[in-house]
Structure 1
């Protein structure tokens, strides 16, 4: 199948989760309900999450970067303005830098209470916030094959989006400590390969019936089929510091899905990624971000992060060029190379003499940037 005959305007969407932090102490604050009630637009665009110190939003179905960026930028600005009235920051970070030792307040909904009961102590400090990218697929059978194809790139995608280096007021030593905390969920990491959607659904039903998850929507695999939409959902990215980074990352994911579908139809499947190596590679990428090497789950080779990112962009270049996103993604990659990624920016802000105020100012500025 040629690129021209495929749907190059394949629809996608971005779900973003944010932490609500006290503007003075930086600790999580249970303001989600108040902020959502405070403005009419918040009631339609924002949702509460597992903890009362988290909110989330989701773009409409998008076919262009402009639509996604306009929505996320506008939401962040509006949410930041409302939150400021309560002395609160809407922070694009995977974890709170301080206050994570405080047991989180579970949002008072039956489903969240059930999840909390299942997790027990493992859920007490799950302040994890992420960026989830949905990309449309023609069928669930093709969706499970796309999930297998994306495994090859999972480690480098974790490294590029790592944005949670600080925990309990200290540098965790990891670019994404959120990834490590996420391993305490009952079904973490990248999923194994499935031959058909029937096999995939059987596995999910076994997890649900066995009491591992309260329902299929609780599945915390790094990549999964959505239960609500005809999409593949990639869930491995931390919440992003800036809306532009979330959108640029989503464009990469869309292009990867498109390239995978083209290759599958043309019978050009890439090498098989071994799940154990994929998950080990994600762990290494969570530790080092893009400052070290990235493990290739197909070959098993450890490559410099810059080389792996260049290989990724080259792999999807036809899809990005045809959709008009190539220069935008190249600029994103250049930005990552220049500033070292959002985890390094957080560390830099926190390492100065005014460490906490400087970090909170970074969150504020990033959350109110124009498109």
Structure 2
């Protein structure tokens, strides 16, 4: 059974919902002995990040995510802030978010200008253990067509700068501005992957290897393949569901590789267009089917994904959890849909912020 780990990025806002630059102080106040995972600073001072330890079941993932959300929310509250699981800031800001006082972050801000200073976005990153880097590249090739499905499933950022963007994941649109972001290319080998990274470094489209921002990448710190395509999930349960699906896709890809099944030759421009469609529509819309390329409802293809990875879920005892969480999404809508429904009731973004606070698992 492959192990997984989940990283979540959060916004910190004051009681009115404006970004609150207390991230470094919140991180410093969390006792590392109080959680199984890690709490880390992020690019903007109004952000924090959590990372679980190594997990094997949904129960472990949810427990660790909820515990860290609670600890972060408590420390945020002591600084007059709220922890918000949204892919983008919701309200309009009078000035760009403050950059965390860190040499690397300041260098990034100077080099990339407004890309760094005008887009505080929060994602969900899933690490899945892989045997080696060469295998990880081959697995990445196999699962590329499924990336839009994962994005649509987690889309949770329809509001930005005080308005409805008409996108379910505006985070994806903002994040795509980074020159090293976007869908991973189809690589011929590990050497091809490494030569591409080196070329990006030479062009200074990246300042270091940690800035490989592809939607799936080889981790530089762990023996894992890292999924980076998703918005931060509104709830710990939805974050765990994405982790289970990600592990299932990696496991199925490993079986296909062993069986000699070639990776789909999905053109980069088609994958990029389908990711745009997923960002626009979210869970309530449509994407291209990963196998036949037809435009289909996201709900239907997520149900197919569940069946595709069912053997992996059965092995870890997580079928019931996945079915229950997916049924809740079918009933209540994805994160973006729920945000928009909260706003529609009174036309007040305060209701969106209240919803996110309540759903985060930290309230």
The TM-score bracket by the shorter chain reads: over 0.9
Please list, as runs of the form range in 1=range in 2, the aligned pairs for 1:15-26 lying within 5 A after superposition.
Answer: 15-23=7-15, 25-26=16-17
CA distance in 1, matches of 2:326, 2:266: 24
CA distance in 2, matches of 1:45, 1:267: 38
CA distance in 1, matches of 2:267, 2:207: 28
| Structure 1 residue aligned with 2:213 | 220
| Structure 2 residue aligned with 1:10 | 2
CA distance in 1, matches of 2:303, 2:38: 36
State which drifts further: 269-278 or 284-293: 269-278
**1:342 to 2:335 alignment:** yes
1:100 touches 1:125 (CA, 8 Å); kept in 2?
Answer: no
User: Residue 63 of structure 1 is aligned with which of 56, 60, 66?
Assistant: 56
2:284 touches 2:334 (CA, 8 Å); kept in 1?
Answer: no
| Structure 2 residue aligned with 1:79 | 72
State which drifts further: 227-236 or 300-309: 300-309
Shift of 1:110: 1.2
1:22-57 CA distance string (max 9 Å, x none): 12x211110112212334248983211000000001
Please list, as runs of the form range in 1=range in 2, the aligned pairs for 1:254-265 lying within 5 A after superposition.
Answer: 254-265=247-258
Change (3 A) 1:354 1:301: closer
1:80 touches 1:368 (CA, 8 Å); kept in 2?
Answer: no
| Structure 1 residue aligned with 2:20 | 29
- Matched residue SS, 2:217: strand
**1:161 to 2:154 alignment:** yes
1:51 touches 1:127 (CA, 8 Å); kept in 2?
Answer: yes
CA distance in 2, matches of 1:61, 1:39: 20
TM score, norm. by length of structure 2: 0.95
User: Residue 118 of structure 1 is aligned with which of 111, 120, 131?
Assistant: 111
1:69-114 CA distance string (max 9 Å, x none): 1111011111111211222111111011113563111111111112
CA distance in 2, matches of 1:268, 1:39: 47
Please list, as runs of the form range in 1=range in 2, the aligned pairs for 1:1-371 lying within 5 A after superposition.
Answer: 9-23=1-15, 25-41=16-32, 45-100=38-93, 102-269=95-262, 271-353=264-346, 355-368=348-361
1:193-223 CA distance string (max 9 Å, x none): 1121111011101111221100111111111
Shift of 1:342: 0.6
- Matched residue SS, 1:104: coil
CA distance in 2, matches of 1:237, 1:195: 25
- Matched residue SS, 1:232: strand
- The alignment yields a C-alpha RMSD, in angstroms, of 1.8
2:58 touches 2:321 (CA, 8 Å); kept in 1?
Answer: no
How many residues are paired up?
A: 361
Change (3 A) 1:314 1:142: same
Structure 1: segments with no counterpart, 5+ residues: 1-8
TM score, norm. by length of structure 1: 0.93
CA distance in 1, matches of 2:234, 2:251: 26
Runs of 4+ more than 6 Å apart: none
